Amino acid sequence: MVKNFFSSKDKSPKNIQIKKDIINHFITTGNDTIAELSKELDLSVPTVTKFIGELTEDGYISEFGKVQTAGGRHPSVYGLNPSSIYFVGVDMTRHHLSMALMDFKGNIVDQQIGVHYICENTTESFDALCHHIQKFIDRTGKLKDKIYNINLNISGRVNPESGHSYSSFYFSEQPITEILSKRLQYKVGIDNDTRAMAYGEYMKGAIEGEKNVIFVNISWGLGIGIIIDGKLYYGKSGFSGEFGHFPAFDNEIICHCGKKGCLETEASGLAIHRMVLERIARGESTILTEHVKNVQDITLTDIIRATNMEDTMCIEILEEVGYKLGKYIAGLINIFNPELLVIGGQVAETDGFILLPIRSAVRKYSLSLVNKDSHIVLSKLKNRAGIIGACMVARSRLFND
């Protein structure tokens, strides 16, 4: 297991910082020449050459051929050595786990998506989580000795800095990250699932150069990930993005947070599921009753599948929910004036059925001068946004120590 990123010979904080800057440049920009690195980092060519040499000797940097120029010497191109370090991302949802192994350059080299798992706030569920993660690590073979750290996505209130999860597995005052690190024998971090999805989309998905982005995760719950000037916004305690608990409706529906009237009670996967069961109970026709024997066994996945098969009842419910949600997304646009707003999460798998009513409500309720520069698109990564984001978050914590 990798324990320290830089070797013990790195005594100078200034030298360590230069190496961090070089690594971060390659993470965000990709391969580059020493001359371009020197220009970007405002350092002399000899200085950059020295540190590139040391990082290459340590195995973190590799040379990737020459740049073809019109004349003179062809400069070498350098970048991250993909096989030097690996990261594990774990995305935990209500009924499934997805896990991935990512190399240093950000390539997914192994993954397991949709492993059956019931997320409950019990020690049994926590033990099962550890078992699944350990089993995935074991299957990586010799690569597990190069795993630097692990990041686990958890829904709800998560404080990545303290390592506490207040929505799941809050059994004691001890941070869950410490418990997981001891159980798995790797450094383990946690983050909010929606924020990790936003970061995954930012690094590998639908975002192409935009720096101010809002990612809306419409799954069983509802949350947003906020990116400002190219950086994730966490808030004071890591609790930013609780969009689903905006007090929006004067209803008597109790949200899982214990309050009434939350946006999530009428605009989320949970709300869609409840509305479907209510309308079936009233005798409305749907292909769901043809494919699922017991109505109470209908899942959100079943509803999404029926919607994409153009089931009339499901489409009507998606349109209703999408329009309600779009009204409050319009408020987000008025407040943040983002360049891009990405609709993701499980419900986004219905594509236009959820996207069109959202866009319609946004046009009606947001300020036209504000929304004209805010494009709304669907997630490019879809159900892989969580694990890719989890891996990317793990890599972003290279220098936390």
| Fold equal for 86-198+386-396 and 208-379 | yes
pLDDT one-digit tens code per residue, 351-393: 999 999 999 999 999 998 888 889 999 999 999 999 999 999 9
Q: Domain 208-379 - what CATH class? A: alpha beta
What is the arithmetic mean of pLDDT over 139-164?
94
Q: What is the pLDDT of residue 171?
A: 85
Q: Where are the domains of the chain?
A: 13-80, 86-198+386-396, 208-379
In this structure, which CATH number among 3.30.565.10, 3.30.360.10, 3.40.1500.10, 3.30.420.40 belongs to the domain 86-198+386-396? 3.30.420.40
What is d(CA 29, CA 230) in angstroms, rounded to the nearest whole number?
13
170 confidence band (pLDDT: 50, 70, 90) = confident
396: Cβ–Cβ under 8 A, 6 or more apart, which residues? 199
The answer to whether residue 198 scores a pLDDT higher than 60 is: yes
Locate 120 and state its tokens: 């409950």
Is residue 97 within 8 Å of 91, Cβ to Cβ? yes
For residue 34, give the nearest of 7, 1, 61, 4 by alpha carbon: 61
The answer to whether residue 72 scores a pLDDT higher than 80 is: no
SS (HEC) of the chain: CCCCCCCCCCCCHHHHHHHHHHHHHHHHHCCEEHHHHHHHHCCCHHHHHHHHHHHHHHCCEEEEEECCCCCCCCCEEEEECCCCCEEEEEEECCCEEEEEEEECCCCEEEEEEEEECCCCCCHHHHHHHHHHHHHHHHCCHHHHHHEEEEEEEECCCEECCCCEECCCCCCCCCCHHHHHHHHHCCEEEEEEHHHHHHHHHHHHCCCCCCCCEEEEEECCCEEEEEEECCEECCCCCCCCCCHHHCECCCCCCECCCCCECEHHHCCCHHHHHHHHHHHHHCCCCCCHHHHCCCHHHCCHHHHHHHHHCCCHHHHHHHHHHHHHHHHHHHHHHHHHCCCEEEEECHHHHHCHHHHHHHHHHHHHHCCHHHHCCCEEEECCCHHHHHHHHHHHHHHHCCCCC
The answer to whether residue 223 scores a pLDDT higher than 90 is: yes
24 confidence band (pLDDT: 50, 70, 90) = very high
In this structure, which CATH number among 1.10.10.10, 3.30.1330.50, 3.60.15.10, 3.40.50.300 belongs to the domain 13-80? 1.10.10.10
pLDDT one-digit tens code per residue, 302-343: 999 999 999 999 999 999 999 999 999 999 999 999 999 999
